[in-house]
Every structure is written in C-alpha cells, then in structure tokens.
Amino acid sequence: MAQIFATESLAPGFADPVHDSQASFRAALAAFARPGRIERVPVSPGIAAPGSLGRAATAFALALLDLDTPLWLSPSMSGAAGYLRFHCGCPVVAEPRKASFAIAGGDVPALDGFDLGTDEFPDRTTTLIICVESLRTGGAVTLSGPGIQETASLSIEGLPAGFWQQRVELQAMFPRGVDIVFACGDELAALPRSTRIKEA
C-alpha cells in the first residue's frame, strides 16, 4: 500500500528549489557574518509555512535540512514534522542532544540540553532555530565579538524567562556552545556561539 502523507506534509516548498535554496542560504550566511543584524529572507511567494513555523524559519529549514541532519522539534513546532520529513527527508529525533538542528518556539528547553560539541570537534553542535514574536521589541541585549564593530544591540520578544542568562553561562564553554537563529515572519537574526552577550 502506498504511504499516505497528511495534507500539511504536501504543502508547497520552494517553487524553484535550486535558486530559492541558494538565496535562503545566502541570507543565513549574511546573518551569521553580522550577528544581531536582521536579514530578510527572499522567500518564494508560494511557500507554505507549516504549523507554527514562520516563512523565514521554513526557508532556512528547507535550505539546510537533509537526510544527514537529525531534527528535534519542540512541542509547539511538532505540527511541522510531516512537512519537513516530506520536503527535506530529515529524521526527527526525540532528544534535543541528538539533533543537528532544532526548532522551537517560546517553549525552547534548557540550552545545555542540546549538543554543545566537544573540545576536539566544537563545530558538531546543534543549530537552534527559535520562532519568536518580534526581532525589534522585547528584552534587549548587547552583543560583541567576531563580525561586530564594537557592539550591537538585539531585542527579542517571545523568549522564555532565564533564556539570556543560560546563554551567558554557555559563553564560558566556548568554542563549544549552541548556534542560534531567531526567526520572525520573513526575517531572521543569528547569534553564533562565538558572540558574547550582556543583558541591558
């Protein structure tokens, strides 16, 4: 019997997979090169963001997930599992620590529960995509480090209490850590593990 996919699994992905994937990847690279800077993702008009994912988070996932990238979804993002399996072929895992990529909303768990890499292979860390309410309002933090001239400011609304303190505590573990992407609508901002933060 042929496998039957739920309707949301068959929702449209990239209209032009090669061009759209490259454009989304470039936007992600630009965000990581300039931590805290808001980048607009050139999302193709027909893309359907599944469940609670926004369009930028969906495009990021479509561009980077594949058969070799285990994905963890928080409960608020579980509705996107079928869509991402269908379009990306990525395995969905039950434990955050086993994920190469993770997607969460305001229910993001403790950051030290993800794969933080090792001293020998610090790049083998989880990239965490957090879908937030705003990239321009909310609790502000000051950023410094590679890609930032002196300091930059980032304001995020929709994060759980204590999130920034958790991120500060991970700084002592660098080069281990978690790479984070905040996504809202068609926009995203990146917070690499090399970026240091200070709460305002």
Task: Return the axis-axis angle of helices 81-88 and 55-64, rounded to nearest 10°.
Answer: 40
What is the tally of structural domains in the chain? 1
Q: Which domain holds residue 28?
A: 11-192
Planar angle of CA 85, 58, 46, nearest 5 degrees: 100
**Predicted confidence (pLDDT) per residue in 26-49, tens digit:** 999 999 999 999 999 988 777 878
Q: Return the pLDDT at 10.
A: 63
pLDDT at residue 183 is higher than 70: yes
Q: State the chain's mean pLDDT as an integer.
A: 92
Is 104 within a domain?
Answer: yes
In a domain, 53, yes or no: yes
Calculate helix-pair angle for 17-33, 55-64, nearest 10 degrees. Answer: 100
Of 16-20, 21-25, 139-143, 179-183, give the range with the top mean pLDDT: 179-183
Q: pTM for the whole thing?
A: 0.92
Q: Considering the domain boundaries, does residue 197 fall inside one?
A: no
- Residue pair 195/145 in contact (Cβ under 8 Å)? The answer is yes
In a domain, 3, yes or no: no
Task: Taking residues 70-95, report their average pLDDT.
Answer: 96
CA 13, distance to chain mean position in Å, is: 18
C-alpha–C-alpha distance, residues 138 and 156, integer Å: 5
How far is residue 104's CA from residue 147's CA, in Å, rounded to a whole number? 26
d(CA 137, CA 46): 29
Least confident window among 49-53, 65-69, 125-129, 166-170 = 49-53
At 157 the pLDDT is 96
Q: Give a yes or no: residue 4 inside a domain.
A: no
1 falls within a domain:
no
Q: Dmax over Cα atoms in the chain, in whole Å? A: 60
Pairing of strands 179-184, 187-191: antiparallel
Is there a domain that residue 188 lies in?
Answer: yes
Residue 132 lies in a domain: yes
> The domain spanning residue 137 has which CATH number?
3.40.50.11310
Residue 18 gets the label, from left (phi > 0), alpha (psi -120 to 50) or beta, of alpha
